[in-house]
């Protein structure tokens, strides 16, 4: 019986940490915050993940504040540490864009900078100890709180769809409607392979936002899950708790590479996809 209760407690702990603070239509027809994971799941498509919205917009505002403040206080003399850091990021983004984008578009570099910094800030929230913020939220009467927006597929798909719309816009702007349609229907096998061309190019086009969203979500969600599983070990005795502490430290150090790498991959693919949208095929 004790083992069953322990398993139930562990399962409830994991489920709690993987549930978003969700606002939507309750079973009685009214609108409010879900009090259980089942209620959150039943709210359907029109539900809003309040925690994802709050932390993603808040971190976006933080990014804008830091860069705008550095821009206003920038000096040609001895720079501050923050100015050095911002200049290093801007130079890094500029180098990445010059190496991967062959067209001419003043939007690409700011887009790459925004994508990289915003995603990096959201990913870094995964390094905050797993129980700190949810425990504080529970004490304040908030039933659920996930602080890592990129562990929510709604956030990653939202960003990926934004990039996808830009890809479509510039594909049509640069190539024209005829050129864009021709690219989808006439490559790679010419006019006699139109159905096959449309299928292959259509799959390739649709896969771009899906790959962007799922790669980021999958890696961050898996990382969050490992942190949660390690945290469960702290309630399993002194020996396992000590071992869990070592695992948590090791995984946190390794996870720093993951959060930076995933932001870099999303940015790089965004640049590459924008470059493809600007290339005309004859």
Q: List active site positions.
A: 211, 215, 219
- Given a contact cutoff of 8 angstroms between Cβ atoms, the answer to whether 116 and 91 are in contact is no
CB atoms within 10 A of CB 28: 6
* Buried-state track 149-177, b at ≥16 Cβ within 10 A, e below 16: bbbbbbbbbebbeebbebbeebbeeebee
User: Nearest 5°: CA angle at 69, between 64 and 71?
Assistant: 95
- Given a contact cutoff of 8 angstroms between Cβ atoms, the answer to whether 273 and 211 are in contact is no
Measured between alpha carbons, how far is 176 from 179 in angstroms, rounded to an integer? 5
Measured between alpha carbons, how far is 47 from 34 in angstroms, rounded to an integer? 10
Measured between alpha carbons, how far is 114 from 170 in angstroms, rounded to an integer? 19
**Which residues have CB under 8 Å from 17's CB, separation 6+?**
130, 134, 146, 224, 228
**Which residues have CB under 8 Å from 82's CB, separation 6+?**
66, 70
Cis ω for the linkage preceding 188 (within 30 of 0): yes
- Given a contact cutoff of 8 angstroms between Cβ atoms, the answer to whether 131 and 146 are in contact is no
Q: Which candidate, 46, 45, 42, 62, places its Cα nearest to that of 54?
A: 62
* Structure-block tokens of residue 73: 């206080």
């Amino acid at each position: 019986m004790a083992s069953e209760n322990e398993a139930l407690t562990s399962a409830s702990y994991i489920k709690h940490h993987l549930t978003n603070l969700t606002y939507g239509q309750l079973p009685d027809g009214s609108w409010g915050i879900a009090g259980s994971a089942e209620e959150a799941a039943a709210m359907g498509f029109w539900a809003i993940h309040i925690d994802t919205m709050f932390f993603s917009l808040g971190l976006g505002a933080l990014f804008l504040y830091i860069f705008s403040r550095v821009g206003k206080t920038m000096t040609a003399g001895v720079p501050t540490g923050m100015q050095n850091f911002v200049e290093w990021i801007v130079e890094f983004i500029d180098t990445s864009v010059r190496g991967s984008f062959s067209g001419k578009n003043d939007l690409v570099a700011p887009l790459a900078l925004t994508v990289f910094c915003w995603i990096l800030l959201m990913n870094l929230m995964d390094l905050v100890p797993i129980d700190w913020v949810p425990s504080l939220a529970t004490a304040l009467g908030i039933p659920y709180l996930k602080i890592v927006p990129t562990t929510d597929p709604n956030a990653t798909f939202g960003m990926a769809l934004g990039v996808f719309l830009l890809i479509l816009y510039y594909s049509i702007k640069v190539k024209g409607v005829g050129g864009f349609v021709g690219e989808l229907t006439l490559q790679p096998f010419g006019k006699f392979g139109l159905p096959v061309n449309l299928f292959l190019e259509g799959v390739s086009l649709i896969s771009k936002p899906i790959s962007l969203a799922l790669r980021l979500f999958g890696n961050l969600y898996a990382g969050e899950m490992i942190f949660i599983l390690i945290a469960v070990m702290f309630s399993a005795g002194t020996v396992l708790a000590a071992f869990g502490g070592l695992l948590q430290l090791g995984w946190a150090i390794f996870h720093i590479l993951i959060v930076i790498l995933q932001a870099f991959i999303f940015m790089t693919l965004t640049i590459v996809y924008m470059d493809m949208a600007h290339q005309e095929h004859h």
